[in-house]
Amino acid sequence: MKLSLKTFVKPFFLGLFLLFSCNNKTVQYPEISIQDSSLERTTTGSVMMFNLKINKPSENEISVDYALVDGTATSADDFEAVSGTVSIPANQTDATIDVQIKGDPLDIRQPNLEFTVQLSNPQFCTISTNSAKGIIITEDRTSLPTENIGYSTPLTYPGYTLVWSDEFSGTNLDLNVWNQELGNGNGGWGNNELEYYTNSTKNTFVSNGNLIIEARRETVGDFRYTSGRMTTQGKKFFKFGRIDIRAKLPVVKGIWPALWMLGTNLSTAGWPACGEIDIMELIGTTPSIVYGTLHWAGAAGAHASKGANYTLTTGDFSDQFHVFTIIWKENNIKWYMDDQQFLETSSSDVGLYNYPFNADQFFIFNVAVGGNWPGSPDNNAAFPQRMFVDYVRVFQ
């Protein structure tokens, strides 16, 4: 049979056309991405999983390489350094990368630790998100040592008996003694404060012989800060004696730690008629100055006060522990910082007809953020901020 040239030419050019079209067609590979992950650190170790997502099924098995990159978390101390390839079967749209997180038997509270998982070398896919952050959560742990340097006072004084103390030597706050107030009070506790007080161990906990009240920059509802506020109202209250409180204070713009007392008739007499004894207050913008103040209701019921301050000659009140003391007698109160007197008040300052300080008072320990007196923190103010209280002792 005789074949014509046309018989060969037509299929030849058709083949070239199809080959050219296939080689120039854009292949739409699926996209792969990796998601951030976080995990609370344990004392014995755990596994953090990173999810890989593919935006559409593929007819091919796809793969991608990965490697771990140190950050504030390092492979030497915090996670197992690994690299490798993840292969994902055809028509599957998810996979995981597992990272072994090392345990920390010391259980130390510290800023959260971070590292990165990096993707590369995609096969039969493209990478839409090539890295993910791994966060090892360590900020909520309940062990926090601090240097125990600074001034200290004795357990005995001539003429006095120790009638009550909290040395914070256990592992939990004694709720038979302490209440934990919640929320933001009435208009920021009357001071336009910015914090939200919680009863979480994130904000109030006992560790290594200290009570720790921690203010954080974190959001709860409409509030951008959290902290702790403790009282002995209805549980422990006193009239007269020597009161020693050993503490190390936070110092940053907008922070306001306080160790103080209110009259037990607060709910009936109201403030300031119940009387307020501020054993110690500090404003973060003046970190080397503490204040002692008495507050009461004047003759017409208006707020009245008398106070003074003590200034360190070197350093500030976050450097080491100091002891804040009042010696409280009938019609007279004296304030001391490391046994150095800096203020004295008497009933003659107030007026005997409305002097509220010959009656029972309860303790309040708190770390406020913002308010009318300290002002607001700025973006440069570092958080968290912590007040350490070593002990509170009442001698009579």
Among all residues, which ones are annotated catalytic? 276, 281
Q: How far out from the chain centre does Cα 48 lie?
A: 23
Among residues 96, 95, 93, the alpha carbon closest in space to that of 56 is found at 93
Residues 6+ apart with CB under 8 A from 285: 253, 374, 375
* Distance set, CA 70 to CA 79, 114, 131, 167, 221 (Å): 9, 8, 13, 41, 34
Residues 6+ apart with CB under 8 A from 83: 65, 66, 67, 68
Report the C-alpha gap between 81 and 85 in whole angstroms. 14
Q: How far out from the chain centre does Cα 255 lie?
A: 13
3-state SS, residue 280: strand
Q: SS in 3 state form for 61-125?
A: CEEEEEEEECCCCCCCCCECCCEEEEEECCCCCEEEEEEEECCCCCCECCCCEEEEEEEEEEECC
Residue 396 DSSP code: -
Among residues 366, 373, 383, 368, the alpha carbon closest in space to that of 255 is found at 368
Structure tokens at 217: 């920059």
Question: Residue 378, Cβ neighbours under 10 Å: how many?
Answer: 9
The one-letter amino acid at 275 = G
Q: Are the CB atoms for 304 and 297 separated by under 8 Å?
A: yes
Rg (CA), the chain: 33
Residue 11 DSSP code: H
Report the C-alpha gap between 214 and 374 in whole angstroms. 17
Among residues 144, 42, 150, the alpha carbon closest in space to that of 100 is found at 42
Q: In the β-sheet with 113-123, what is the strand arrangement from edge to edge? A: 37-40, 131-137, 113-123, 62-69, 83-88
Length of the chain in terms of residues written = 396
Among residues 252, 319, 257, the alpha carbon closest in space to that of 286 is found at 252
